[in-house]
């Protein structure tokens, strides 16, 4: 699916990069935030897309203008290309604290791991060339160490796996009820517990959100669609809520 500009002003730009996933890979979205010529790349993806994402970014900024690499959690569709990005840019990486040393298994050596900042469980605020980004705690949604990004300028919440859909052939949700069918299975199985989602909902209602952009699937644009999504998330049971009978030795 093609590149999409989600927000643009004289100084600030939010871009959904072209989707380069193919074959057996679960489709994944890579997002770029640019502020005054410097960039942040969110959830860069795996080996098979890294060089495509690199050349796509080069249409907007030079690779040495990439200042932030953000990793929402430890899954391969997010961190597998980490070594490539550290070698090809001077960017600083941000990753949930509990996953920092696990990413070293993707070939991040001692020298490179010094360029990674671990995000504490409480989350933190970071700066992209003077523009604030808020790293929001979203633990157990789905990973036990999981962080989302809120950009106060564009009012976009980058929600990671929350809001993921599988099988959509569109980038923006138009019919929420139809789109639900593509989200339900994913949330039922990949989200560990509804209690985490309810905690997230009460926190996230404090933010002024115009767009929710998940790492898989389609985006929720506009307050009405954003609220429909948040209202749905508040109600669902998932993971251990509905799978408590699973702990049996297989026959
Ligand atoms: Fe994941």
Ligand 1 centre to CA of 160 (Å) is: 7
CA-wise closest residue to 120 among 142, 140, 94, 102: 94
Sequence-distant (6+) residues with CB within 8 A of 109 are none
What is the distance in A from the centroid of ligand 1 to the CA of 229? 19
Q: What is the mean pLDDT of the chain?
A: 95
| Mean pLDDT value of segment 51-55 | 92
Residue 193 CA to ligand 1 centre (angstroms) = 15
Q: How far is CA 3 from the centre of its chain?
A: 17
DSSP one-letter string for 182-212: HHHHHHHHHS-BHHHHHHHHHHHTTS--SEE
214 CA from centroid of ligand 1 (Å): 11
Q: Is the peptide bond before 53 cis (omega within 30 degrees of 0)?
A: no
pLDDT at 26: 85
Distance 9 CA to ligand 1 centre (A): 31
Question: What DSSP state is assigned to residue 59?
Answer: T
- The alpha carbon of 129 and the centre of ligand 1 are apart by a number of angstroms equal to 28
Over the stretch 13-47, which tens digit does the pLDDT of each residue have? 999 998 888 888 888 899 999 999 999 999 998 88
Instruction: Give the confidence band of 2 by pLDDT, cuts at 50, 70, 90.
Output: confident
Distance in Å, CA 77 to ligand 1 centroid: 7
* Cα 33 from chain centre: 12
What spacing in Å lies between the alpha carbon of 46 and ligand 1's midpoint? 12
pLDDT tens digits along 194-228: 999 999 999 999 999 999 999 999 999 999 999 99
- Helix, strand or coil, per DSSP, at residue 224: helix
* Six-digit token string for 210: 């115009």
* d(CA 67, ligand 1 centre) in Å: 23
Question: Nearest-CA neighbor of 9 among 33, 30, 27?
Answer: 33
d(CA 15, ligand 1 centre) in Å: 21
The pLDDT value given to residue 103: 85
The share of the chain scoring above pLDDT 90, in percent, equals: 86
User: How far does residue 73's CA lie from ligand 1's centre (Å)?
Assistant: 7
Instruction: Give me the domains of the chain, ranges plus CATH numbers.
Output: 4-120+133-238 (3.60.15.10)
Residue 189 Cα to ligand 1 middle (Å): 12
| 143 CA from centroid of ligand 1 (Å) | 7
> Using CA atoms, how far apart are residues 173 and 78, in angstroms rounded to an integer?
23
């Amino acid at each position: 699916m093609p590149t999409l500009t989600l927000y643009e002003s004289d100084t600030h730009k939010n871009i959904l990069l072209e989707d380069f996933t193919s074959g057996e890979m679960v489709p994944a979205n890579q997002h770029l935030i640019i502020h005054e010529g410097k960039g942040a790349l969110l959830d860069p993806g795996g080996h098979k897309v890294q060089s495509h994402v690199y050349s796509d970014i080069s249409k907007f900024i030079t690779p040495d203008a990439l200042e932030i690499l953000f990793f929402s959690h430890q899954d391969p569709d997010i961190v597998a290309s980490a070594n490539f990005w550290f070698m090809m840019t001077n960017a600083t990486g941000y990753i949930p604290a509990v996953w920092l040393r696990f990413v070293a298994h993707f070939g991040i050596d001692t020298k490179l791991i010094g360029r990674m900042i671990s995000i504490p469980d409480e989350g933190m605020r970071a700066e992209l060339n003077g523009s604030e980004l808020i790293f929001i705690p979203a633990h157990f949604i789905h990973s036990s160490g999981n962080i989302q990004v809120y950009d106060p300028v564009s009012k976009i919440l980058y929600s990671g796996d929350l809001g993921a859909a599988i099988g959509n052939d569109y980038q923006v949700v138009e019919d929420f009820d139809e789109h639900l069918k593509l989200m339900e299975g994913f949330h039922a199985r990949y989200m560990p517990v509804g209690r985490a989602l309810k905690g997230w909902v009460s926190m996230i209602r404090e933010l002024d959100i115009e767009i929710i952009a998940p790492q898989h699937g389609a985006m929720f644009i506009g307050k009405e669609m954003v609220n429909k999504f948040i209202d749905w998330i508040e109600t669902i049971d998932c993971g251990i809520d509905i799978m408590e009978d699973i702990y049996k030795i297989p026959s």
